[in-house]
Amino acid sequence: LFRSPTLKIMQFVLLVIAVCVIAVANAAEWTLDTSTTDGILVGVGMGDATSAIAGSCSSNSGAEPQWWDGSSWTKQSMQAGIILDAATTPGNKASIATTMGGIQVTTDKGASFTHVAGVLGLSQSAKTFDTDSFGVAGQFTSFPGGAFGGVITSTDGAGADWTVSHIEGATAVRYGDYPSASTWYVTEGTWNDNSTSVASTSAYPNLSADMPMSSRLSIGKQGKIHANKGSLTDVSGWFGKIWKTSDAGSTWSNVFSSTDSDYYYFNDISCGSPTTCVAVAEGQTSETGGNEVFAMASQDGGSTWTKTWSSSNAQSLMGVQMISATEGWIAPLSSGRGLATDFYYTTDGGQTWSLQQTLQNCLVMSMDYSDGVGAAACLGSGGNSGAVAMYQ
């Protein structure tokens, strides 16, 4: 039987419509929202498609986090110094900000804040999980309990009650991710500040304090020499580890460790499922230098990790965000094009990556994604400004 001309025309029309739908679906791109511009902005968190928080600070009035309602951002003043990261639940019902003075919680979008008692420390990794729970990774001191590396979690939906989870043997916890209520991953690592490759950019240079966010970025005064933060058994001063718990922090296992001949540390980690994760790292190729940043992926729950993307040209790689078990982003700072971030995308769980877009005047510090909408915290040129880049 021969198909009629009418049927062929209908099939052609349907094909055109399908192509147009795909084109529209892929039309989203990362764009700086200049309305969020502030003195510095290094943390951002999505609650859902119409709620988010940005941890911004003014050079004049200090911390002033911003809340997004799906169409616009609103700032609030906060007595807490510099915000290092922030997270919020759907509808901005509860939000947290990690600061140099500890964790602050609000349930009224910044009209009032409550300090989390009993624990002090620095964290540049605040995230939500299991819809309305919070996880904060870093190095802390609890009372009682003393100093520890690990995570602090709140599962009551309001950030009122917090539980401490120590990671035995962890001395330099950096970032965490929580793909389920019980399965969590944490990165650890540090660098040798005396290395020839360490030439930190300083953001917010008028700040009297000094907070190293990575080997290549410091908040506050630049050029201050820090002690070698390598472990006592790591003579190079560089190391990177990944930890995992499957019982909500009751016990932890070290699922990856760098070797004595490695010169890198980990930044953020993001998991699209309890078994699929991508961690990003930066460092150098040898003791005497040679820049390298890379992404490392696992698709078997952390049993094996494979370097799936690397560059000797990119200057830094702080941000990664998986949006499912297969799709996700990494955002390295490109080289030779001023301050510009290259957004790479994966559709196979981080096994391969393709360049999708380059965004000028943006060094991505952190990323988050929810219900088809993405947000990235960008530092601007000179380190004296920051803004949110949105993907929608």
Identify whether the C-beta of residue 362 lies closer than 8 Å to the C-beta of residue 339: yes
Structure tokens at 333: 């700072």
Alpha-carbon distance 170 to 151, whole Å? 11
Nearest in space to 52 (alpha carbons), one of 372, 328, 344: 372
pLDDT tier at 193 (50, 70, 90 boundaries)?
A: confident
Structure-model confidence comparison of residues 169 and 26, the more confident one: 169
Of 13-17, 63-67, 202-206, the least confident: 13-17
Kindly report, residue by residue over 278-311, the tens digit of the pLDDT.
999 999 999 888 899 999 999 999 999 999 999 9
**Hey, how many other C-beta atoms are within 10 angstroms of the C-beta on 362?**
25
| pLDDT at residue 79 in the model | 82
Q: What is the pLDDT of residue 227?
A: 39
CA dist., res. 6 & res. 9, Å (int) = 5
pLDDT at 200 > cutoff 60: no
Distances (CA, A) of 277 to 87, 229, 245, 258, 325: 20, 26, 14, 17, 8
pLDDT at 209 over 60: yes
Compute the distance between CA of residue 252 and CA of residue 282 in angstroms, rounded to an integer.
24
pLDDT at 201: 67
pLDDT of residue 219: 83
- Residue 18, pLDDT > 50, answer no
Residue 164 has pLDDT above 70, yes or no: yes
Place of tokens 């009122």: 160
DSSP 196: T
In the predicted model, is pLDDT for residue 66 greater than 80? yes
Residue 221, pLDDT above cutoff 90: no
- At residue 269, the pLDDT reads 98
Q: What is the pLDDT of residue 6?
A: 53
Interval 246-263 mean pLDDT: 97
Task: Write out pLDDT tens, residues 75-129.
Answer: 999 887 789 999 999 999 999 999 988 999 999 999 999 999 999 999 999 999 9
Predicted TM-score (pTM) above 0.75: yes
Q: What is the pLDDT of residue 9?
A: 47
Sign of CA dihedral 170, 280, 36, 392: negative
Closest CA to 327 of 347, 351, 310, 344: 347
Position with higher pLDDT, 193 vs 247 = 247
How does residue 244 score in pLDDT terms, banded at 50, 70 and 90? very high
